Structure 1
Amino acid sequence: MWNLIRRIRMRRKQAVLCLLAATLAFVLSAAMMSSLSFAQEPVLTVCWGVLMVWSLLVQLLLLAMLAKKP
């Protein structure tokens, strides 16, 4: 995992902006998931769920990268 983080060359300002974008995507997908019903729209619910998980993983990766940088 740390090798992946080292490979990503990003300035601190870019990393913070990406972290904010991932957080916004997470909040948006959580809001959409709360208004959807899996029984009525299963495909849309799964798509928003995938976006939610993906944005959470991106947030964790960026936080780890920001914690490692001086």
Structure 2
Amino acid sequence: TIESINQLKTQRDFMLSFSNNPQEFIQDWLKSQSRDLKLMTDTVGNPEAERRTEFYHSPWVKEAVGRYVFSK
């Protein structure tokens, strides 16, 4: 069907964009995901703090990762 063709084209474009420039693709994708998350949760984060590695070495990260892994 046309819908499945459009879905396959979207998937192909996604993968092609990644294969052409993986680093830029990941950066753009993470920015997009961050914007979407902030819109969905309606919370204000600190982009400068989130950009630094120290932010992800906070005590809450270990528990959050554990919960994420066990939920999959």
TM-score, with structure 1 as normaliser = 0.34
> Greater relative contact order: 1 or 2 (C-alpha under 8 angstroms, separation 6 or more)?
1
More helix by share: 2
**Rg comparison, structure with higher value:** 2
